[in-house]
């Protein structure tokens, strides 16, 4: 895979306190990568190091395949970002804010400004000053500003923070559009799995400044294990019948009276019929489908 960002043992220590430690992060070209972790886990600090806002204490960053360092920030021209909250000139309109930004970058293109405002659906409200914008509108204007130069990578720190459900959906659609239609790679952060799950291709789980897992969502979906759990007073006879009558080989006795059956082709009703026919009492039978939450919960527990 062609990587846009790769870090090796990225570490940040402030006044002797470890904030980010030994993070190896790999963002592939064209991916939407989600950094997932609770508040204070170190996500913003990682993003600040990747966008040159702060220096790492140790470790290395490769941006677009080249070393990114204090003296070599060439790659940043190809990156748009919103770290923490987007700050604007509040007494100016969206258009005026983008004009100033473009002048500052030496990239003045009136057409690009219009296109960016169209993209985030702010073109119609030309006269409104930013101070009268909702949080969702400000976030969208922030994306317009980050996207205006058609960067290859956009870094967004908690882009849905504080948005209502409609605002969250609009933000998700916007990220997807920019990713699919313009081929822009995204690095996003969030503390909510349900949100990141809906948009990301790959997730990096950050806890206490460490990367505890980096995994593609399609891989997790393949690994999910569904099972049927049976509660019966006659575990021995039930197991025997399941193995010999239904030819199930993957059975686990988890507690005295509980059996888990890992076989995707068998249904609870087949099991029920068999056991009733042999006069075995079933106290409970239930199909369990493991969720992404289960997966990450186990990952986090494993490291705890």
Ligand X SMILES: Nc1ncnc2c1ncn2[C@@H]1O[C@H](COP(=O)(O)OP(=O)(O)OP(=O)(O)O)[C@@H](O)[C@H]1O
Contact status: 86 vs ligand X (CB under 6 A)? no
Contact 268, 228 (CB under 8 A): yes
**Structure-token pair, residue 161:** 């923070």
- Cβ-based neighbour number of residue 2 at 10 Å: 9
Binding piece for ligand X, criterion CB under 6 A, among 38-46, 170-178, 243-251, 294-302? 38-46
Residue from the set 32, 36, 37, 175 that interacts with ligand X by CB under 6 A: 37
Distances (CA, A) of 286 to 240, 260, 262, 268: 19, 10, 12, 7
Q: Minimum CB separation from ligand X for residue 36, in Å?
A: 10
Q: Does 42 bind ligand X (CB under 6 A)?
A: yes
Ranked by CB distance to ligand X, the top (closest) residue is: 44
Contact 4, 154 (CB under 8 A): no
Under rule CB under 6 A, residue 40 binds ligand X: yes
* 19 near ligand X, judged by CB under 6 A: yes
- Nearest approach in angstroms of CB 190 to ligand X is 9
Alpha carbon distance 111, 224 (integer Å) = 47
Q: What is the rounded distance in angstroms from the CA atom of residue 88 to the CA atom of residue 29?
A: 30
Task: Answer yes or no whether residue 39 interacts with ligand X by CB under 6 A.
Answer: yes
Question: Is residue 60 a contact residue for ligand X (CB under 6 A)?
Answer: no
Instruction: Count how many Cα atoms sit within 13 Å of the Cα of residue 59 in the half-sphere of its side chain.
Output: 22
Q: How many residues bind ligand X (CB under 6 A)?
A: 12
- What's phi and psi for 164, nearest 5 deg? -80, 170
Query: Is residue 236 near ligand X by the rule CB under 6 A?
Result: no
Q: Classify burial at 286, counting beta carbons within 10 Å of its beta carbon; exposed 0-12, middle 13-18, buried 19 or more.
A: exposed
Report the nearest approach of ligand X to the CB of residue 163 (Å).
15
Using CB under 6 A as the binding rule, whether residue 145 contacts ligand X is answered as no
Contact between 56 and ligand X per CB under 6 A:
no
Distances (CA, A) of 109 to 97, 123, 260, 272: 14, 15, 63, 70
What is the smallest separation between the CB atom of 158 and ligand X, expressed in angstroms? 6
CB of 13 to ligand X, least distance (A): 10
Which one of 36-44, 129-137, 169-177, 180-188 is the stretch in contact with ligand X (CB under 6 A)? 36-44
Give the footprint of ligand X on this chain (CB under 6 A): 14, 19, 37, 39-45, 158, 191
């Amino acid at each position: 895979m062609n990587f846009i960002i790769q870090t090796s043992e990225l570490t940040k220590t402030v006044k002797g306190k470890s904030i980010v430690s030994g993070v190896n992060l790999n963002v592939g070209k064209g991916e939407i990568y989600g950094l997932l972790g609770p508040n204070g886990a170190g996500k913003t600090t990682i993003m600040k190091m990747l966008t040159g806002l702060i220096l790492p204490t140790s470790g290395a960053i490769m941006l677009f395949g080249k070393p990114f360092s204090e003296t070599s920030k060439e790659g940043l021209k190809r990156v748009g970002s919103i770290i923490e909250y987007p700050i604007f000139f509040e007494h100016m309109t969206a258009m005026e804010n983008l004009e100033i930004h473009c002048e500052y970058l030496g990239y003045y293109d009136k057409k690009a400004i219009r296109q960016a405002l169209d993209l985030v659906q702010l073109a119609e409200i030309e006269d409104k000053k930013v101070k009268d914008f909702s949080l969702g509108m400000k976030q969208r204007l922030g994306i317009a500003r980050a996207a205006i130069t058609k960067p290859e990578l956009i870094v967004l720190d908690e882009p849905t923070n504080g948005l209502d459900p409609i605002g969250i959906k609009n933000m998700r659609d916007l990220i997807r559009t920019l990713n699919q239609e313009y081929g822009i790679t995204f690095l996003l952060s969030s503390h909510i799995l349900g949100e990141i799950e809906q948009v990301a291709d790959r997730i990096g789980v950050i806890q206490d400044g460490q990367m505890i897992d980096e995994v593609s969502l399609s891989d997790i979906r393949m690994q999910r294990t569904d099972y049927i759990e049976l509660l019966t007073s006659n575990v021995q006879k039930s197991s025997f019948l399941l193995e010999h009558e239904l030819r199930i080989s993957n059975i686990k006795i988890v507690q005295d009276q509980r059996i888990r059956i890992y076989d995707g082709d068998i249904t609870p009703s087949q099991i029920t019929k068999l056991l009733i026919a042999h006069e075995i009492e079933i106290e409970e039978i239930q199909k369990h489908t493991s969720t992404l939450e289960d997966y990450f919960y186990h990952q986090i527990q494993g490291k705890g």
